[in-house]
Amino acid sequence: EIFVQAQAKGPLTDQDYLKALDKNHLLMRTQGIDAVMADQKFDALIAPTGGPASLTDLVNGDPGGGGSFSSPAAVAGYPHVTVPMGFVRGLPVGLSFVGRPWSEGLLIKFAYAYEQATKARRPPRFAPSADLAGGRP
């Protein structure tokens, strides 16, 4: 559905699209990330990337996802990097670093320093499949 809607929206030169883009930039850049970083004199914004991963429901499927700290950076067009932060109930959680335009090098330094200090990354473990009624995982 979302791809069909995206195709139907019209060209990237459409005035409604350009107005929406300007509004997104104002809210996420000027009044959002830029304002917070300038006011607080931050080099980067750091927060959990998202909530803990949900356990898969083998009968009803995966639950819907919540918000993500990567979204504001994506809307603003700003650099973002995520590194392993740890585990909740055995499932991985990431930590995001968001920066100003052209701050990729600084973000990579922060992310690397965090990884080296915490050693939070663990190789994935694949648990055996659960047996369901009918004998199929």
pLDDT in tens, 3-46: 888 888 788 899 998 999 999 999 999 999 999 999 999 999 99
Handedness of CA 53, 56, 57, 61 (dihedral sign): positive
pLDDT in tens, 66-101: 678 888 999 999 999 999 999 888 888 999 999 999
Query: pTM for the whole thing?
Result: 0.75
- H helical segments located in the chain: 2-8, 15-25, 34-40, 70-76, 104-118
DSSP state of 102: T
Decide: 69 and 55 in contact? Cβ < 8 Å. no
Compute the distance between CA of residue 96 and CA of residue 137 in angstroms, rounded to an integer.
Answer: 34
Report the DSSP beta bridge partners of residue 92. Answer: 87
Residue 98: partners with Cβ closer than 8 Å, 6 or more residues away: 33, 44, 45, 46, 69, 70, 72, 73, 78, 79, 80, 107
C-alpha 79: how far from chain center: 11
- The residue extents of the domains of the chain are 2-53+68-118
Compute the distance between CA of residue 72 and CA of residue 78 in angstroms, rounded to an integer.
Answer: 8
